[in-house]
Amino acid sequence: MHRQDKMFTFLLICTLTSLLTLGHASLPLVINTWPFKNAAAAAWSALQSGGSVLDAVERGCARCEMEQCDGSVGYGGSPDESGETTLDALIMNGDTMEVGAVADLRRIKNAIGVARAVMEHTEHTLLVGESASVFAENMGFIAEDLTTNKSVNIFSEWLKGSCQPNYRKNVSPEPSKSCGPYRPKATWKQSKRARHANIHAHDTIGMIALDRDGHAAAGTSTNGLTHKVPGRVGDSPIVGAGAYVDSLAGGAAATGDGDVMMRFLPSYLAVELMRAGVDPSAACKSAISRIKRHYSEFFGAIICANTTGHYGAACNKVPGLDKFHFMVANSETNAPVLKSVDCF
């Protein structure tokens, strides 16, 4: 069977099986990754009170930032190798295809707000590092310390444990046994260290909002990977990877091992599949399957919603993740409802 025929067969099977679990079409719609109920409620409230889809996404993600959802969103979580917490966020307008994003943001708690400021007050798409923080301060955002007692303790315990786990390879001293500073090995063999599938190290909030008039928006917010190399940027602020939306097709948002997932632009792929008529559940499954072909044990999930209000989700089955939970609010539920999908 030709490769194209295999892909068509796979999508057909996904479409037929997902019809049994496909989310009912109902607008407006808010859907977000993980059981972050308060985030979904904030976004739904924004829509119900006359706010735009961009308002909904911003308020939903901001709620998670303030509540430090699972320690993986907002201040005081996921310290890097130097003990610092930095933030990444993205927001996208599905009508205009404008995007605002920040990465490696320091001192500013409201990362999603800064991302929207990038979109609305510059011609750029992505600002990073110290310069992004200075931009935020100039835009009126308050500079605050993102460190908390919890993040200090996480960092201290990591140091006591010989800096395990970390994300170095082919360096000296041996990174699986020692802390840095690290230097490249004079000679080394290509090695593939086991990746760390910690369910609480990747819980980015990704959110999609659609209203009755056909407007759509998507966004993400995260404090990244715990013990990351300083300066590391994952998939969350990368358009097409962390999230993507087009009001003519739908939206998608991903969560998981961003270093792997960003190489495949799963959110973009899912939206393009929905544009071609594939239902959201099948589009999600196809995006996950594309990654699985190369990284069978990667940790990740994706949510999808099309312009009619149908929605779906998919996840890769690995130890610690056999079912993926997400939140949905629409005109049928009129409140956030916890949904789940079995991983495959």
Span 107-159, pLDDT tens digits: 999 999 999 999 999 999 999 999 999 999 999 999 999 999 999 999 999 99
**235 a known binding residue?**
yes
209-217 mean pLDDT: 97
Q: Residues 6 or more apart from 280 whose CB is under 8 A from it?
A: 18, 22, 23, 250, 270, 274, 304, 305, 306, 310, 311, 312
7-15 mean pLDDT: 50
pLDDT at residue 104 is higher than 90: yes
Q: Residues 6 or more apart from 333 whose CB is under 8 A from it?
A: none
The answer to whether 210 and 53 are in contact (CB under 8 A) is yes
Q: Residues 6 or more apart from 96 whose CB is under 8 A from it?
A: none
The answer to whether 282 and 131 are in contact (CB under 8 A) is no
The answer to whether 72 and 86 are in contact (CB under 8 A) is no
Q: How are beta strands 126-128 and 99-105 bridged, if at all? A: parallel
- The pLDDT-based confidence of 18 (bands split at 50, 70, 90) is very low
220 is catalytic: no
pLDDT in tens, 44-103: 999 999 999 999 999 999 999 999 999 899 999 999 999 999 999 999 999 999 999 999
Residue 311 three-state SS: strand
Residue 19 has what pLDDT?
Answer: 42
Cβ neighbour number for residue 297 with a 10 Å cutoff: 14
Q: Which of 167-176, 189-198, 226-235 has the lowest mean pLDDT?
A: 189-198
pLDDT in tens, 241-252: 999 999 999 999
Residue 6 has what pLDDT?
Answer: 53
31-56 mean pLDDT: 98
**233 a known binding residue?**
yes
Residue 165 has what pLDDT?
Answer: 96
Q: Catalytic pick from 33, 85, 86, 204?
A: 204
- The pLDDT-based confidence of 222 (bands split at 50, 70, 90) is very high
Domains of the chain: 27-147+201-340 (3.60.20.30)
Residue 22 has what pLDDT?
Answer: 53
Indicate the residue type of 229.
V
28 prior amide bond cis, ω within 30: yes
Look-up: residue for tokens 């979109």? 119
- The pLDDT-based confidence of 17 (bands split at 50, 70, 90) is very low
Indicate the residue type of 128.
V
Residue 203 has what pLDDT?
Answer: 75
The answer to whether 191 and 22 are in contact (CB under 8 A) is no
Token digits of residue 130: 């110290």
Token digits of residue 233: 């940027």
Provide the total of helices (H) and of strands (E) in the chain, helices listed first: 9, 14
Element (DSSP H or E) covering residue 102 = strand 99-105
* Mean of pLDDT over the chain: 92
Residue 143 has what pLDDT?
Answer: 98
The answer to whether 38 and 206 are in contact (CB under 8 A) is no
CA distances in angstroms from 7 to 2, 3, 306, listed in the order given: 9, 6, 21
pLDDT in tens, 297-328: 999 999 999 999 999 999 999 999 999 999 99
**328 a known binding residue?**
no
pLDDT in tens, 171-189: 999 999 999 999 999 765 6
CA distances in angstroms from 229 to 73, 186, 282, listed in the order given: 18, 21, 35
260-269 mean pLDDT: 98
Residue 197 has what pLDDT?
Answer: 53
- The pLDDT-based confidence of 25 (bands split at 50, 70, 90) is confident
Token digits of residue 234: 């994952």
pLDDT at residue 21 is higher than 50: no
Token digits of residue 289: 């399957």
Residue 257 three-state SS: coil
Residue 172 three-state SS: strand
**234 a known binding residue?**
yes
